[in-house]
Homo-oligomer: A and B are copies of this chain.
Amino acid sequence: MANSYHRIVLASRPHGWPTPENFRLEEVSSAPLGEGEVRVRNRYLSLDPYMRGRMNDAKSYAAPQMLNETMGGTAVGEVVESRSSQFAVGDTVRGMLGWTEYGVSKAEGIGKVDARQIPLSAYLGIVGMPGMTAWYGYNKIMEPKPGETAVVSAAAGAVGSVVGQLARIAGVRVIGIAGGPDKCRYVTEELGFDACIDYKTAADAKSLAALIAAAAPKGVDAHFENVGGDVLNAVMTLLNPFARVAICGLIADYNATPGQMMKSAILNPGMFLVARFKMQGFIISDHLNRWPEGLTALAGLVASGKLKYRESIADGLAAAPAAFIGMLKGQNFGKQLVRLY
């Protein structure tokens, strides 16, 4: 255990898009552990869109990130020091350990993960929060039936890719929306979606709706929204009666400046009456009691090769800010991680 380590703190709050200057890499001294605490050498950091919301000093579902404190976030790694009887040196664990080489947590804030059957990094992705988010939204809100049509935005991403594969496995016609031909090819050829729309080829919500409509001749029965903006407005015009829309993320707006018109304003709420659909926001941390059920389902599908996933890996702590900003711009491909060693 080193006497000092590196971490990344929030140096300033962004106005609109975050920049590298909003972050600061610094070296700090290790403090002794308190009773019941565990020190973890982080191996992979998870970068997630929700972190953008926490960088604002505004009401949201998560408390704001404090200035000059270690950027919060989930990580996986190895226990290097323990003052808890529940963890021993060498255990592989996951927890809210932050953007740091060494994280400290109370024992109740971390959990052991079994990295023998499934790679350690997957506990930040397909069998972690993104996978569980997909599983919950798919099964508890979208609830598509075989033969129905579902749409998923950010279809090549860590969450969307799982939603679409769950649909495909269940016999649901599934249309992805993603940015660029490479992602669309991955979504259809590797993940097995029935179709994928490159939203970059559509000038506006109307032309995007026309592209989706061509791939969804029977309309849309369920939708999983990660993006918002034109995507949501386009899909809303295609919903069949009694459709279900799960709102997981609205990344199109995360970098809006205060007072700016939200890109994802829902322009035609009359569709709520035309199609009598349900739209429901959710956050997986409200539903941790479902984790065992979801983990069992996902781990089984991963182990049997029915669920595929991809990771974008940035190397070294210093690479985290640029990787995070790139992810917000859609430059990642699958789950965005930072590998520390």
Instruction: Give 9 nearest A-B pairs by CB, closest first.
Output: A272-B281, A266-B266, A247-B272, A278-B280, A276-B281, A273-B281, A279-B279, A264-B269, A265-B267
Partner of A267, one of B59, B60, B262: B262
Closest-CB distance, A237 to chain B (whole angstroms): 10
Does A282 lie at the interface of the complex (its beta carbon under 8 Å from any beta carbon of B)?
yes
> Does the CB pair A61–B281 fall under 8 Å?
no
Q: Main secondary structure on chain A at its contact with chain B?
A: loop
Known contacts A265-B269, A266-B269, A270-B250; A279/B276 CB under 8 A: no
Closest-CB distance, A134 to chain B (whole angstroms): 16
Closest-CB distance, A264 to chain B (whole angstroms): 5
Q: Which residues of B contact A242 (CB under 8 A)?
A: 286
A261, closest chain B residue (CB) = B267
Does A118 lie at the interface of the complex (its beta carbon under 8 Å from any beta carbon of B)?
no
> Does the CB pair A272–B279 fall under 8 Å?
yes
Q: This chain: how many copies in the complex? A: 2
> Does the CB pair A250–B279 fall under 8 Å?
no
Mind listing 23 A-B residue pairs with CB under 8 Å? A61-B241, A61-B273, A241-B286, A242-B286, A247-B272, A250-B269, A250-B273, A261-B267, A262-B269, A262-B270, A265-B267, A266-B266, A266-B269, A271-B281, A272-B280, A272-B281, A276-B280, A276-B281, A276-B282, A276-B283, A277-B281, A278-B280, A279-B280
Q: Which residues of B contact A280 (CB under 8 A)?
A: 272, 276-279
Does A228 lie at the interface of the complex (its beta carbon under 8 Å from any beta carbon of B)?
yes
Closest-CB distance, A299 to chain B (whole angstroms): 26
Partner of A61, one of B61, B249, B276: B276
Closest-CB distance, A66 to chain B (whole angstroms): 19
**Complex alpha-carbon distance, A278 and B286, angstroms:** 14
Q: Which residues of B contact A274 (CB under 8 A)?
A: 59-61, 281
**Complex alpha-carbon distance, A101 and B330, angstroms:** 63
> Does the CB pair B281–A228 fall under 8 Å?
no
Does A253 lie at the interface of the complex (its beta carbon under 8 Å from any beta carbon of B)?
yes
Q: Which residues of B contact A241 (CB under 8 A)?
A: 61, 286
Does A117 lie at the interface of the complex (its beta carbon under 8 Å from any beta carbon of B)?
no
A272, closest chain B residue (CB) = B281
Does A268 lie at the interface of the complex (its beta carbon under 8 Å from any beta carbon of B)?
yes
Does A275 lie at the interface of the complex (its beta carbon under 8 Å from any beta carbon of B)?
yes
Does A129 lie at the interface of the complex (its beta carbon under 8 Å from any beta carbon of B)?
no
Closest-CB distance, A83 to chain B (whole angstroms): 35
Q: Which residues of B contact A232 (CB under 8 A)?
A: 269
Closest-CB distance, A26 to chain B (whole angstroms): 31
**Complex alpha-carbon distance, A90 and B215, angstroms:** 56
A248, closest chain B residue (CB) = B273
